[in-house]
Amino acid sequence: MAEKNSTDEMELPRFISAHEVAQRAGVSRSAVSRTFTHGASVSPATREKVLRAAEELGYQVNDLARGLLANRSQLIGMIASDAETPFRSQQIAALSRLLIESGRVPVLITTDQSEAGRASHATLLRYRAQATIVLSGMPSKAFVDLAQRNGQPLIAVGRNEVGPDHIRVNNALAAETAVQIFATRGMQRIGLVTSAVGSPNLVEREEAYTRKARDLGLDVYVERAERTNYDGGTLAASLLLTKERKIEGVFCVNDLMAFGLMDYARDMLGLSIPEDLSVIGLDDVPQARWGAYRLTTFQQNAERQAREILQVLEQRLKEPAGPPITTQLDLPLMVRDTVRALPAKKTDAGEEVPSQ
């Protein structure tokens, strides 16, 4: 006697089919399809029967199957690295919510530079995603090329390839502003903490910062960690903040690195912030407002960025053959407690008054 395998002995989960709805309602299979197709012709009586049967059975339309039959879907791919970091998680949450509200299905693929990461990118093409949004500089240029060859709309955030639609932030202005803040406080030796990731955003920040510092005649020192995270900030601080250099102000390319640098400076070197060392970050993650940091930083607004992405997506889907769209967002400065005050000014009478 043949043995039953495990799949014979257990009831496998399944979805209610349109055929079952048709049987319950006493109508044809095509009537069920027309009922759930926007604009299709179906009589009020038939529609009522189908909807009642669907509710009783718990039926849900298979939008994925419909989309694949039409060579399209409501899937929107989101490709991101470092999804667990504060700003990226805000970015993903804000964009996912707006996509769902617009009737689309967000699909997140986390990525790195590994073979597995590169192979996962093609998943969005195989499932005929309506568009893909690249949220970081990590995914390879090869994926961008593959998406474009397949005619898939592609929105790149913080990248610089020719062809896709782009959402960019004004990295240069933020970096130059950080230098100017240090310079107006009389600082002569300033630092930059970044990483070796080499994404376009990081490169733009570094180039603008060092260029502005040299234009103003300041000594500028750059330290790069392997990753753009808290541990990277700690490591970079140990290399940057030497007694010989006597660094007075540091711009960190994101808040996580600033947190690592601040903790190292205070705990390991006994420095006071901002009296001994001024620090500026970038992102304005929620932790930047915490009492332990109160970090002066440039704000990336995840909600605003998500709205811009959705607006570009809608425009691209309406005009598939239109020219590439580029939107640039400013990074407002959030002033807190990690930059020392401006030097006091003297009145004609020789009295010192605080600078504004």
Q: List Cα–Cα distances, 227 to 235, 321, 323, in angstroms.
A: 10, 38, 35
Burial of 228 (0-12, 13-18, 19+ CB in 10 A): buried
Tokens representing residue 181 in the block? 């803040």
116-124 LR contacts (CB < 8 Å, sep 24+): 118/142, 118/143, 121/79, 121/146, 121/147, 122/146, 124/75, 124/77, 124/79, 124/152
pLDDT at 271: 97
pLDDT at 126: 67
Tokens representing residue 223 in the block? 């330290």
Could you tell me which of 166, 119, 168, 167 has the C-alpha nearest to residue 146? 119
pLDDT at 32: 84
pLDDT at 248: 98
Could you tell me which of 36, 125, 137 has the C-alpha nearest to residue 81? 137
Asked if residues 135 and 308 have their Cβ atoms less than 8 Å apart, the reply is: no
pLDDT at 129: 79
pLDDT digits (tens, 9 = 90+) for 218-227: 999 999 999 9
Could you tell me which of 134, 251, 237 has the C-alpha nearest to residue 181? 251
pLDDT at 155: 93
pLDDT at 109: 83
Cα torsion through 224, 229, 232, 236, rounded to 10: 60
Could you tell me which of 296, 297, 345 has the C-alpha nearest to residue 185? 345
Per-residue tens of pLDDT for the chain, all 356 residues: 444 454 444 554 567 888 888 999 999 988 888 888 767 888 999 999 989 988 888 887 765 555 554 545 688 989 888 888 899 999 999 999 999 999 888 988 887 655 455 556 666 666 677 888 988 766 566 677 777 777 788 999 998 888 899 999 999 999 999 999 999 999 999 999 999 988 899 999 999 999 999 999 999 999 999 999 999 999 999 999 998 999 999 999 999 999 999 999 999 999 999 999 999 999 999 999 999 999 999 999 999 999 999 999 999 999 988 999 999 999 999 999 999 999 877 555 555 444 54
Q: Where are the beta strands (DSSP E) in 284-354?
A: 296-299, 326-329, 333-334, 345-346, 352-353
Q: Sign of torsion, CA 154 74 111 259? A: positive
pLDDT at 221: 98
Phi, psi of 79 (to 5 degrees): -110, 125
Whole-prediction pTM? 0.79
pLDDT at 7: 45
